[in-house]
Structure 1
Amino acid sequence: MYRLVFSLLIARVSAETVHHLTLRALRAVQAVPGAAALLRRVLARRDPALAVRALGLEFPSPLGLAAGFDKDAVAYDALGAFGFGHVEIGTVTGRPQPGNPKPRLFRLVPDRAVVNRMGFNNQGSEAAAERLRGRGPGTIVGVNIGKTKVVPEAEAAADYVASAERLAPYADYLVVNVSSPNTPGLRNLQAVEHLRPLLAAVREAADRVTARRVPLLVKIAPDLADADVDAVADLAVELGLDGVIATNTTIARDGLASAAALVKETGGLSGAPLKERSLEVLRRLRARAGDRLVLISVGGVENADDVWERIRAGATLVQGYTAMIYGGPLWAHRVQRDLSRRLRGSAFATLDEARR
């Protein structure tokens, strides 16, 4: 039914308009007392075998929603009720910013992909902190922070620190995003000589504002050279980071079947075409760091088989986003159901046993 609605209606409306309408509906659900809890009982039924203990938290399932959907922390509990084991909000910047000019979000339907050049459009870390301040225990919420566009690269650390100070008290975990292709100069911060002081500053800021040690991760691009992936893994271990999220969107456009005009749109590509490289980066990180880092795999995850493959390759948690656009609101529920069946039909009793 969703495929029919998508082809006849949704695909005819701009992707960003549909996104805002969806968020508005989810926000309305979250505003009704008890509505998210009722949905959770129906759509997020928990199979104890899928529970994952990581980052000092108990995740009801390994599948979470990647950053980019709920940029301003307006619908995280409603999204959790639809079957996600955690929701990562953001990317949030130190200052509010409108993002890049529209249009800036494009569906590549034949490739089951999306190109975005949103540019971290969000209301800023103060607004996000205010929304998260009174949240309940229903959904595990990660907070993804990035650099404000107008802040010079030399002052990036201070901008990240401002966000960390405001948001660490309300985050279940923090993510430093240095890998979006849509903020000029941002990916330069992935170089180890820039990344080391940045991560150290964010870690110190988070520890300063809350007695609870908030887990800290870094999110990297799929376009890094293999040697640079190794370097980031080594740095994360050296600094005592809790984990790495791999990967963000890609600037590559190889082998796409969509119309040339869409393929040529600038921005980050997400969805099915990212699957192979994202898996390669995951395997490289696992080989380099072993179990010293929590690895969260994202990029091209479309179904339970993909989640299973990432777990077998060393991922502790897995995230999706683009597949929900093509799979509809019950996508996470279906993946969780199918993953439960996959696990019970395997030789493993838990996901921890399945992880290599």
Structure 2
Amino acid sequence: MSAPVYLDYQATTPLAPEARAAMLPWLGEAFGNPHSAHRMGRAARAAVEVARDAVRAALALPGGRLLFTGGATEAINTALKGAAATAAPGRRRIVTVATEHAAVLDSAGWLGSQGFEAVLLGVDAAGLVSLDEARRVIDERTSIVAVMLVNNEIGVVQPVAELAAIARAAGALFLCDAVQGFGRVPVPAADMVAISAHKVHGPKGIGALWIADGVEIAPLIHGGGQEEGLRSGTLAPALCAGFGAAAGLLRDHAARDHAHVAELWALARTALPGWTLNGDAERRYHGNLNIRRDGVDSARLISAVRDVAFSAGSACASGSGRPSHVLRALGLDDRLARASIRLGFGRYTTREELARALALIDAAAAAQRGTA
């Protein structure tokens, strides 16, 4: 049986062959602990630092520190809870957006139970934040503003640079969840940035938190004091090496990846004329196509089209049975939210397989609607 056409790049991306090759030595004889002082440990440590430099270079932010974490969820938790722990007594407000990833929303909600006030900015029908509303709620009581660069469900690009400037003017820290934007759209200046390896053709199980110079947060994980005392635990050189190799490819393939994704986007939009786009048509990353068609049930569609791997939204919430909180924030009712699918494509998606997958999806949707 042949593998399905993979159109779920927002959930995870295929591991780059170069990243796999970079990992293999550290899964075999070069198994030293990177925190050991002997020769094997020093070699492993050197590999970790080479990887760290590669990720920093791909992130392209000035100065700062880059901490390896177990993933973006851990990076976001560390940033939010670590910054909250050091917040001034009069700053007990955390501002974020209704369409954020659960790692941000749930962390903000937990902090709300610890004496903080969590404020959610709404979005318009295109999925974008109002800067006027942001200026109204981000004030001297605010300690942290957390906003996603590229939305993981609908692909819209928030005005993060402007929001960061508003936060800075109010004396608040700005956290950017750049997981879906890293290597695809420029990451603007922020105080903290969270990224993940497996969304950029690296391995699962590793992410990073970039922290700007002068920003001090409390550790979330205590133990051996690794990662400058902010993330205790033994690092996995293999995962770090894979992340570093994948980050290097982001720089080497930037122009090629951008042109390829734009070509795939144009093909998909042409091939699915009866579908409605969810989210802004212009301010978006084109490797994420979230669309809906009246009379379609996305769960049934995914089950029917077994030769294509695609989703109805975030992998973190799949199977919950609840309509997407992102689509509901756009004003879609439950029926339209359940009629929506997300198609994600990128570097390793070919035109031929995308065209074949789109034809299968469109035909199954027509059959479901009784119009085939």
Higher helix share: 1
TM-score (normalised: structure 1): 0.32
TM-score (normalised: structure 2): 0.31
